[in-house]
Amino acid sequence: MRLFEPFEFRLYLLPSPVSAPIVGIDLGTTNSLVAVAGWPRASDAPHIIPDAAGRPLLPSIVRFESGRVVVGAEAHSADPAHEGRVVASVKRLMGRSLADARPDLPFLPFSVVAGEGDTARVKLPDGRTVTPQEVSAHILAALRVQASGALGVPVERAVITVPAYFDDAQRQATRDAARLAGLEAVRLVAEPTAAALAYGLGTRPRTPQNVVVYDLGGGTFDVSVLRITPGEGGAGRLGADAFEVLATHGDTRLGGDDFDYALVTLIVERVLAQAPGTPPPDAALMGRLKTLAQRAKVALSDAQSVPIDAGAAFAAALAPLTLTRAELEAAIAPLVDRTIASCRRALRDAERQMAGEPVDAVILVGGATRTPLVRRRVGEFFGLAPYTAIDPDQAVALGAAVQAAVLAGGGADATGVLLLDVVPLSLGIETANGAFAKIIMRNAPIPAAGHEMFSTQVDAQTAIKLHVLQGEREMAADCRSLGEFHLRGIPPMPAGIPQLRVDFTVDANGLLTVSAHERRSGKRLTVQVVPHHGLSRDEVDRIERESFTHARADMARHRVADLLANSRLDLTWIGRQLASAGDLLPAPQRGAIEQAVAALRAFVDTAGAGAPVDADAFHAAKEALDRVSIPLHEASIRRSLQAP
């Protein structure tokens, strides 16, 4: 029987003032920001910390030179000597394998190779390789220095935002980058949740509100449905405004970069149509084309058409091109459709908690939401004019600063906040015959915990494999493997006797810890599960699509797998009892048991060989054996009591 421990949420209010601030950081694909709240005075509102030149946005660009590293706007360079040394949009590689990143490679102006564990790494022209974590660390370090200089105190702690659909590998990669930058990531907060914090700070709803956060950044997309419950005498917990995530959906490989790639493809097609002999673009040319596409995309947010100087990018004599907003919208329409499909799924997942209540507000977050087509489609889908009062580039960082102030204990407004986030995909382990036992369900609030009891299937088993999985299907082979671990040193015992309790906990950062305890021997194992790679878009789509398409068949397979495991144990025990106490039974009773054993064994042999069986008939055969074997169990007990 599966058991779930109750979820428990607490709001910890730390004393104020504190020795140093905790800042909020939005580590973005295109731009990054740092913000602070409740500093130096507890009443200070959240605000972005600009650089020395007054710029709020730090472009997420790093240039590796011989002996030095340049970060931000200055890192962008058209100098041919810097080709392959300028790294941008590295967030799309965080926690990913080379195979995961392959669709992005043709559009990146730098070389990507496989590193340890097939992880994606950047290869520089001088032969050095750097990890995405190292690149991100340079960006975070620049933000740390920027904040320290502006605040006049060393900044060593930060709340860092991540896409809601970042998995364990991507979240851990973000924490590693922070550590390399000299920062303690005291909390990872989902970007849509942070944006909702910024929204709640400005609106202070007097009644509960259902809010959708549509977050389309440079490289990732998330949509979250939240309920904001006001405190201060309202329905909030502990007098705090509660921000509870009801459901989330998204795509860690969909964002403004993909709009740029669509435009790059369109520009290349137009150039090849004009000059068929033009060679295909290399990495350096692709970088110039991406810059050209970004400028055109931004210009088309206000204009109906813009000129494109493709000749300068291709270094060739080409006639000027004109790109219209209609062409842009046609190119990106399939991408926007994918975001709307995610919105539809998130609303469906939140239906039960919303109980027919409407969506009260839709918040747009991320620079790509400035695109007119995006705003139009979102407004049409939800039937609401999107809320755009907060700068979409700054909302996430401001919300992170609010959460940072909560953790630091600074700010009367900030301490009235409680975050309740969710697990994006179900987590569990593989059980006998390849079934998937879900221990923490998709969209469960975090921090989350759950446990289940298991046992062995083989006599004298001294080690148990824990295969940790993530997904929505019923069989392990159809889910994503997060890692395998072994609990060893268990004393030999008959099958079914060991009592193994497996606990899953997901902390406030969304990181998973698995522990196993065999109660009879006292053996324990605790591991933090960090898979090598992140989920690709195709994997996420497949996991969720197939969980519906194959739901009925999956449940039948899972049922047969459970019946197979339990029936094998029954046959083992009953076989032993027949040998030790069968002579105490009348011949008709013994014959009935043997007949039921044979019937059940036929199902076990068929299912064990992988052939299809009727689950209802299988279950009926097991029930029949359970009933007719009752006299045998009683006889076995009598003989054991009579033994000297």
Across the range 253-260, mean pLDDT stands at 89
**Residues 400, 35 contacting (CB under 8 angstroms):** yes
Q: Over 50: is that where the pLDDT of 448 sits? A: yes
**Residues 500, 451 contacting (CB under 8 angstroms):** no
User: 168-180 vs 132-151: helix axis angle to the nearest 10?
Assistant: 50
Q: Which two tokens stand for residue 483?
A: 């890692």
- Which sequence positions are flagged as catalytic? 26, 91, 191, 215
User: Quick one: pLDDT at residue 320?
Assistant: 79
Q: Which two tokens stand for residue 376?
A: 């139009």
Q: Are strands 361-365 and 209-216 parallel, antiparallel or unpaired?
A: parallel
> Domain 2-255+334-422 adopts which CATH fold?
Nucleotidyltransferase; domain 5 (3.30.420)
* Chain centre to alpha carbon of residue 330: 30
> Domain 256-333 adopts which CATH fold?
Actin; Chain A, domain 4 (3.90.640)
User: Quick one: pLDDT at residue 114?
Assistant: 86
Whole-number Å distance between alpha carbons of 503 and 497? 19
Highest mean pLDDT among 22-31, 91-100, 491-500: 22-31
User: Quick one: pLDDT at residue 212?
Assistant: 94
Q: How confident is the model at residue 6 (pLDDT cuts 50, 70, 90)?
A: very low
Q: Which two tokens stand for residue 212?
A: 């959708």
Count, residues in the chain: 644
Q: Are strands 445-446 and 361-365 parallel, antiparallel or unpaired?
A: unpaired
Across the range 293-304, mean pLDDT stands at 89
Q: Over 80: is that where the pLDDT of 16 sits? A: no
User: Quick one: pLDDT at residue 13?
Assistant: 32
User: Quick one: pLDDT at residue 418?
Assistant: 59
Q: How confident is the model at residue 527 (pLDDT cuts 50, 70, 90)?
A: low
Three-state secondary structure call for residue 405: helix
**Residues 375, 367 contacting (CB under 8 angstroms):** no
User: Quick one: pLDDT at residue 530?
Assistant: 52
User: Quick one: pLDDT at residue 204?
Assistant: 58
Across the range 543-558, mean pLDDT stands at 67
Q: Which two tokens stand for residue 606?
A: 């068929």
Which residues, in sequence order, are CB contacts of 248 under 8 Å at separation 6+?
164, 165, 190, 192, 222, 223, 224, 225, 346, 422, 424, 443
User: Quick one: pLDDT at residue 205?
Assistant: 60
Q: Is 629 exposed, middle or buried (0-12, 13-18, 19+ CB in 10 A)?
A: buried
Q: Are strands 157-162 and 184-190 parallel, antiparallel or unpaired?
A: parallel
User: Quick one: pLDDT at residue 362?
Assistant: 93
Q: Over 60: is that where the pLDDT of 238 sits? A: no
Across the range 599-612, mean pLDDT stands at 87
**Residues 325, 340 contacting (CB under 8 angstroms):** no
Q: Over 90: is that where the pLDDT of 58 sits? A: yes
Whole-number Å distance between alpha carbons of 364 and 295? 21
Q: Residue 110: name the closest of 95, 94, 96, 89 by CA.
A: 89
User: Quick one: pLDDT at residue 14?
Assistant: 31
**Residues 448, 503 contacting (CB under 8 angstroms):** no
User: Quick one: pLDDT at residue 235?
Assistant: 37
Whole-number Å distance between alpha carbons of 584 and 55? 90
Give the residue extent of every domain in the chain: 2-255+334-422, 256-333, 427-549, 551-642
**Residues 39, 151 contacting (CB under 8 angstroms):** yes
Across the range 70-75, mean pLDDT stands at 90
User: Quick one: pLDDT at residue 545?
Assistant: 61
pLDDT, one tens digit per residue, over 263-298 is 988 888 888 888 787 777 777 777 788 888 888 998
Q: Over 70: is that where the pLDDT of 621 sits? A: yes
DSSP letter for each residue of 154-168: ---EEEEEE-TT--H
Whole-number Å distance between alpha carbons of 411 and 419? 16
Under CATH, which number does the domain 427-549 receive? 2.60.34.10
Q: Which two tokens stand for residue 157?
A: 């702690």
Q: Over 50: is that where the pLDDT of 15 sits? A: no
User: Quick one: pLDDT at residue 305?
Assistant: 92
Q: How confident is the model at residue 472 (pLDDT cuts 50, 70, 90)?
A: confident
Please report which helix (H) or strand (E) contains residue 249, including its range. strand 241-251
Whole-angstrom CA distances from 165 to 171, 190, 284, 443, 540 are 10, 8, 31, 11, 9
User: Quick one: pLDDT at residue 28?
Assistant: 92
Whole-number Å distance between alpha carbons of 106 and 293? 15
User: Quick one: pLDDT at residue 387?
Assistant: 87
> Domain 551-642 adopts which CATH fold?
Substrate Binding Domain Of Dnak; Chain:A; Domain 2 (1.20.1270)
Q: Residue 105: name the closest of 273, 261, 319, 299 by CA.
A: 261
Three-state secondary structure call for residue 614: coil
pLDDT, one tens digit per residue, over 138-176 is 999 999 999 999 998 999 999 999 988 787 778 888 988
Sign of CA dihedral 152, 158, 163, 164: negative
